[in-house]
Amino acid sequence: MFTNWRIFAVNRQKTFSVHIHTTCYCKIKANLKRSKTQVPLTRSYSSPPGIVGNEVKSLHSIINPPVAKIRNIGIMAHIDAGKTTTTERILYYSGYTRSLGDVDDGDTVTDFMAQERERGITIQSAAVTLDWKGYRVNLIDTPGHVDFTLEVERCLRVLDGAVAVFDASAGVEAQTLTVWRQADKHKIPRICFLNKMDKTGASFNYAVESIREKLKAKPLILQLPIGEARTFQGVVDVVNREKLIWNSDSDDGKDFERKPLSEASDPTLLKETVEARNSLIEQVADLDDEFADLVLGEFSEDFDLVPAEKLQAAIHRVTLAQAAVPVLCGSALKNKGVQPLLDAVTTYLPSPEEREHGFLQWYKGDLCALAFKVLHDKQRGPLVFLRIYSGTLTPQSAVHNVNRNCTERMSRLLLPFADQHVEIPSLTAGNIALTVGLKQTATGDTIVSSKSSALAAARRAGKGERKPGRISEAESVLLAGVEIPEPVFFCTIEPPSAAKQPDLDHALEHLQREDPSLKVKLDPDSGQTVLCGMGELHIEIIHDRIKREYGLETYLGPLQVAYRETILNSVRATDTLDRVLGDKRHFARAELEVRPAEEPCGVATIEYADSVGEDLLQAPREDIENAVHSACLQGPLLGSPIQDVAVTLHSLMIHPGTSTTMVTACISRCVQKALKKADKQVLEPLMSLEVTVSREYLSPVLADLAQRRGNIQEIQTRQDNKVVLGFVPLAEIMVLGPASFSSPTGHFCP
């Protein structure tokens, strides 16, 4: 039965990076993140400026700066690149924290969950709001681990710009590619920060080259490093021809000197900087016509005379157009380069009004917001993060949820500052708000001021008034949420006693609302609750949260990989359903064909032959499609969902008076019959794997990958290391965590 495996990549192809260093070379483990148990330390926060003492009067002007001065940005990267460390420095230099937190000490602001502090990883995105040189920066630190990719995606959906952080010794890594693609999908302008310039093996040129080659992006080099690895002291600002040197006696990096480069003191550095500036000018002129006209008109003789402000404005336009990405460098851990990074965020990344949102014209200044994250607070209930695209949010007001067609009352409005929140009287377009009181709102919902406002916007959107008052009409103004990836792991979860089942259901309901990538279903055969998630770590964290946050000790069954099934040939089948219920005869006959879909299509696609036209009037297409989809939920081989199948309904005979339920039951049976007759295959998810290994350990690593049915695509050389790129079946790289987890293939063997 299992000889006929065909390997597939799931829709959301998982990307993974494994770094093997000299101390752990023999076995590849999929989850090599630090796992330390620490006592979480408490942090002292200073109040956000303007919110101390009795400065409440000026609060409104501080909280609602002109929209041109707002920057909504995310920090995104491969795991461990230094996002949280960079965020921590940003908060410190902008005056929001009194001391520098450290990921390794478990006391950073944005990693406030107990699990984040213990493991030294970011699990959920955390939003903070800060002011920098007159700009309001709403910043979201996102997770780097592949299991929490959805967190990154839903934040990127509502941001206007992003800082992509890189480990300068590794360049572009596996998960960098994933988050970069996500940013491409949401058309997010970005800047790159080459972090860890102090680390052994750090190479500015290598990292820039990898951005060019692997991300196919055009790097604009705005800084040059002064020294690398141990000798890293500061950076050169190419645009202004200045050097920035951090005082080695300063232990928090606040003290640094900015000096113009001169022929007398830095002849070599000046020469390199002038060359870099000239090539930057040429590069930007190639991408921006306005700048090209300026340069060729006034400064063609001497590029040195191009004013820094003109160059900066052009870089801003090029960044906004996503034609190129500014590149900066530094070392967050050693407190170097973060202040210029913040300057670059405000100079080069766009304000909300510079981003194009076609739908804004439908609202004419009325409220329109997108819910992108929900958190459960024991005292306050659900806290909903909203990105406000137009209009103003005020507390104690009613808002309309277009997706759920319901009106809810928002009790309080808060400004997010990691786990600390500041109450505010109103918040305008372009900002990110945290609201209390929206009990029905879920991630991806569109929030407007009232139902009539949604309908008015729908009319402006040109969707007619065919069915007045129906939510379907307002659907035209729904903002696109994010695609929720299909889970690749599942396991049963049981409460300690049957009496605790309602508590478990309650906990899972809340967790699912917070995290749409967590799916919960009921096993129809055993009646057990099944958790479906994006990876082992994801399920482990959920298990742990149920224990810590809901006080429930639960038991997990063996962790299993979510397989799929598909068919290999076309098969036709007929099914007749003829029943008498009461005094009524129900008769339906369906004839259909199943065949492999030409293009990967996830679940089944449905087509109708011309001959079924008449009978379709009796059975709505929606019901027919539901019947086909429910038949595809459990494949004939393993009971796994069927995918990439095309179904053509050739004929459908229905006697008058036959209920729709009978018709759909007949179609469902017919699909299952056809699937059973077809040649079938089990599909298994693959991980894209990147293993960094010292040269001497390459052979054992390759042998190990071969044992795990790995498919090696390429072996690259990165400084002194080898980087193995390939695909490995997910089932082969599971980290068998809790003793109760067992091999999924074993579980499935007949």
Give residues in contact with ligand GTP (CB under 6 A): 77, 79-85, 103-104, 120-122, 143-145, 195-196, 198-199, 331-334
Q: In whole angstroms, how close is the CB of 329 to ligand GTP at the nearest point?
A: 10
**Residue 231 annotated as binding site:** no
Question: What whole-number distance in Å separates Cα of residue 17 and Cα of residue 179?
Answer: 13
Question: Of 536 and 732, which has the nearer Cβ to ligand GTP?
Answer: 536
The tokens of 251 are what? 């232990």
Residue 23 burial class via C-beta count within 10 angstroms: exposed 0-12, middle 13-18, buried 19 and up = exposed
**Residue 195 annotated as binding site:** yes
Question: Of 332 and 663, which has the nearer Cβ to ligand GTP?
Answer: 332
Q: In whole angstroms, how close is the CB of 122 to ligand GTP at the nearest point?
A: 3
Question: Of 17 and 664, which has the nearer Cβ to ligand GTP?
Answer: 17
- Find the residue with minimal CB distance to ligand GTP: 144
Packed helices 308-320 and 267-287: angle between N→C axes, nearest 10 degrees: 50
Question: Of 110 and 529, which has the nearer Cβ to ligand GTP?
Answer: 110
**Residue 76 annotated as binding site:** no
Q: How many CB atoms lie within 10 A of CB 248?
A: 9
Q: In whole angstroms, how close is the CB of 232 to ligand GTP at the nearest point?
A: 9
Packed helices 621-631 and 660-677: angle between N→C axes, nearest 10 degrees: 40
Q: In whole angstroms, how close is the CB of 12 to ligand GTP at the nearest point?
A: 18
Q: In whole angstroms, how close is the CB of 375 to ligand GTP at the nearest point?
A: 18
Question: Of 142 and 476, which has the nearer Cβ to ligand GTP?
Answer: 142
Question: Of 81 and 675, which has the nearer Cβ to ligand GTP?
Answer: 81
Quick check: 748 and 563 in contact, CB under 8 A? Answer: yes
Q: In whole angstroms, how close is the CB of 207 to ligand GTP at the nearest point?
A: 13
Q: Name which of 554, 448, 572 is nearest 496 in CA terms.
A: 554
One-letter-per-residue 3-state SS of 362-407: HHCCCCEEEEEEEEEECCCEEEEEEEEEECEECCCEEEEECCCCEE
- Name the DSSP letter for residue 27: S
**Residue 82 annotated as binding site:** yes
**Residue 78 annotated as binding site:** yes
Question: Of 101 and 685, which has the nearer Cβ to ligand GTP?
Answer: 101
Question: What whole-number distance in Å separates Cα of residue 438 and Cα of residue 410?
Answer: 6
The tokens of 593 are what? 């064909």
Is the C-alpha dihedral spanning 444, 449, 450, 454 positive or negative? negative
**Residue 432 annotated as binding site:** no
**Residue 546 annotated as binding site:** no
**Residue 198 annotated as binding site:** yes
Q: In whole angstroms, how close is the CB of 252 to ligand GTP at the nearest point?
A: 14
Where helices occur in 51-148 by DSSP H, the ranges are 59-63, 83-93, 114-119
**Residue 141 annotated as binding site:** yes
Residue 633 burial class via C-beta count within 10 angstroms: exposed 0-12, middle 13-18, buried 19 and up = middle
Question: Of 110 and 560, which has the nearer Cβ to ligand GTP?
Answer: 110
Q: In the chain, what are the helix, strand and coil shares in percent, each to the nearest 5? A: 30, 30, 40
Report which residue type is found at 283. Answer: Q
Q: In whole angstroms, how close is the CB of 119 to ligand GTP at the nearest point?
A: 8
Q: Name which of 105, 111, 67 is nearest 87 in CA terms.
A: 111
Q: In whole angstroms, how close is the CB of 167 to ligand GTP at the nearest point?
A: 8
Q: Which helix (H) or strand (E) holds 149?
A: helix 149-158
**Residue 144 annotated as binding site:** yes
**Residue 321 annotated as binding site:** no
Question: Of 79 and 163, which has the nearer Cβ to ligand GTP?
Answer: 79
373 has which bridge partners?
385
Sheet holding 584-596, edge to edge: 571-581, 584-596, 645-654, 605-608
Known binding-site residues for GTP equal 77-84, 141-145, 195-198
Known binding-site residues equal 77-84, 141-145, 195-198
